[in-house]
Amino acid sequence: MSIVKRVVGRLAHRGWAYLRDAAALSPGSTGGYRFRRLGEGACVSFPLGAIFGEAWIEIGDHTLIGERVSISAGMGPGVDLGPGSIVRIGRACSIGRGSHIVGHQSIDIGDDVFTGPYVYITDQNHVYDDPEKPIGRQWPRNNPVSIGSGSWLGTGAIILPGTRIGRQSVVAAGAVVRGEFPDHSVIAGVPAKIVRRHSPERGWHSPLLPVEPVSLPDPRTAPGVSAAGTGTA
């Protein structure tokens, strides 16, 4: 490689790094003020995805939103969605690049939630009640979503309307999740189900396996007990 190419390449990389840093959204940047809340130390990385409805989006302190992440509240820009927030992302979260968070009623993401890239979270879906009407023209239905603090969502996971995931849970890569899941669950599959759980008594275990029966000694044959069980031997 010629000296000129090396110099141009170095300048291009430095210029791109400077542009990414300068164009990222932070609490002090012009774009940061459009959010309902963009917490201290939070950052929305550049290049940005599709972001609108910022007045109904809250992002907690020290949360990192990756490159090309789309976050939206409502059907489109310029719509009044009422006094409350729609999308709430907690503190110290990390949302992987290329992910989509699409809120219309309520999406709650707790603190310390990490996701892989290309995760999709939405609280709205199309309906197909009328078999004669195009599905895209039928009015969609909303159902709130919540993801408990400390959880991890693997690459390409899809979180559908009405899903409630408990604290410290894992969603496997590529899982399609709908329903309610308790704390300390490992959720996988299409459709997703619990494949592991944690309890104080059993630790991490598969809920699909039967519980091992506990063998207790027969008191009739214990030392010092007669065969009739009414006195000493």
Select which of 62, 100, 126, 198 is catalytic: 126
198 a catalytic residue: no
Helix (H, G, I), strand (E, B) or coil at 88: strand
Using CA of residue 60, residue 66, residue 72, residue 78, what is the dihedral sign? positive
Q: How far apart are CA 26 and CA 20, in angstroms?
A: 12
**Which residues are annotated as catalytic?**
126
